Each structure stands twice: as structure tokens, then as C-alpha cells.
Amino acid sequence: MQTLRDRVTLLCEQATEAIRRSLTALLEDDEALAREVGANDAQINVAQFDIEEYAYSLLSERKLAVSEVRRIVGMIVLTRVLEQVGDHAANIAHFAVSMKRLEATVDMSSVFSLIAEMASTATEITQQACNALLQQDARRAEAAVRRDQELMDTFDAINAVLIQPPEQSGIPPEHGQLLLRVAYNLRQIGMCAVIVCERAIFLATGELKDFH
């Protein structure tokens, strides 16, 4: 069981690092880094399947207590969600490449600041959700879910800027569309974290909660 836990912990680190690196690629206009994030997503996919197969082997090799089965299944759920987080980070990296190709000299610092804030929150919530599930800590899971509102608020702030006409926002429509997609993927990462929190609460308390 400890080996499974260690492998899941490493996958969580890889997924959260992918979020950070994709944001760096966007903010620093680093196409090479963006492509690296996209390529590394394949490694996260492979790791997810490998961990899942290992978990299945644990389920089949001996008789387990119900609590142990729940923990293993919970970690399977977590790995699947982390794979989705990696996909969202890869999407952001793809948008970073698209943004660079537009090559427009416009001031997007205000929106970039909000996106950076959103990415930081998404990364922290994902890490908190992983820890909550691995430690079966319902209180930590509840705290992470409450922080999801921060993502919603920042997403709404970004959307409020980008829905303005270009002459008001100062951001061309094609840039605005890409930035909104970045914000949307960060919002989806938060939703992924909430799913993990729901499972963490179930493992800790046996209570089913749906926060969506």
C-alpha cells in the first residue's frame, strides 16, 4: 500500500508542476517550455495507467478489508483526475504557443496578473486535495473545496475584462479568446480538485457529498 501511495504522491507532484510550467510558458512567452509541457503530458498519461494497473494487482492478490479496498479505489480515482489535470496544463501550454504566434505588442499585464493568481490557487487546491485524500482528512478536503470559490471569483474577473470591446479592454479578440481558454482550463483544474475532495471526505467519513 505504501508503494501505491508513494507513486500517487509523485504523480500529484508531476501534475502540479505541469500547471506551474504551463503558466511560466505563457507569461514568459517561452514556446520551448510550452512544447516540453505538452510532451511531458504523455508521461503523466503512462504513469496514470501504470499506477492503476498496480492498484488492480493489489485488489486481486489477497483478501482486503473494506477500508483498504476503499483507499485503493480512492487512489485510482485520484490518478484518473490527475491525468485530467495534466491534460488541462497541456492545453494551457498549447495556448501559450498559439499566443506567441500572434506576435502582437499589446499590454495584457492586468489579465496575466489575474491568470497567475488563478493558476497559483489551482495548484494549491490540487495539492491540498491530493493530501486530503492520501491522509483521509475530511477537514482539509472541506477547506480545499471552500477555496474553489476563489477560482470562480478570479475567473469571473477575467471574463469581465475579456468580454469588453477591444477598444475598452485593449486586448484584441484573438488574444482574448486564448486567454479565456486558459482561464477556463484553470477553472476545470479546480473542478478536478473538488472531485478528489469529495472522495477524500467519503474515505474519511463515509459521507457522500456533491459540491458541484
**Interval 146-162: pLDDT, tens:** 999 999 999 999 999 99
- The pLDDT of 121-127, averaged and rounded, is 96
Give 3-state DSSP helix, strand, coil % of the chain, rounded to 5: 85, 0, 15
Residue 212 has pLDDT above 70, yes or no: no
Q: Can you say whether the dihedral through the CA atoms of 84, 109, 158, 147 is positive or negative?
A: positive
C-alpha–C-alpha distance, residues 134 and 131, integer Å? 5
Residue 12 has pLDDT above 80, yes or no: yes
- Provide, rounded to the nearest whole percent, the portion of the chain with pLDDT above 90: 76
Residue 207's SS3 state is coil
- What's the confidence (pLDDT) of residue 101? 75
Tens digits of residue pLDDT in 36-69: 999 999 999 999 999 999 999 999 987 889 999 9
C-alpha–C-alpha distance, residues 184 and 6, integer Å? 30
Mean of per-residue pLDDT scores for the chain = 92
Confidence of residue 32 (pLDDT cuts 50, 70, 90): very high
Instruction: Enter the C-alpha cell of residue 80.
Output: 484518473
Residue 181 has pLDDT above 80, yes or no: yes
Q: Is-contact 204 141, C-beta < 8 A?
A: yes
**Lowest mean pLDDT: which of 58-67, 85-94, 180-189?**
58-67
Q: Is-contact 188 125, C-beta < 8 A?
A: no
Q: Can you say whether the dihedral through the CA atoms of 178, 179, 185, 188 is positive or negative?
A: negative
Residue 106 has pLDDT above 90, yes or no: no
Place of cell 511560466: 24
Give the single-character DSSP code of 170. -
Distances (CA, A) of 202 to 71, 130, 141, 173, 176: 10, 14, 10, 44, 40
Q: What is the pTM of this model?
A: 0.93
Please name which of 41, 47, 50 lies closest in space to residue 85, comparing C-alpha atoms: 41
C-alpha–C-alpha distance, residues 163 and 146, integer Å? 27
- What's the confidence (pLDDT) of residue 192? 96
- What's the confidence (pLDDT) of residue 104? 61
Confidence of residue 105 (pLDDT cuts 50, 70, 90): low
User: Which domains does the chain possess?
Assistant: 2-205 (1.20.58.220)
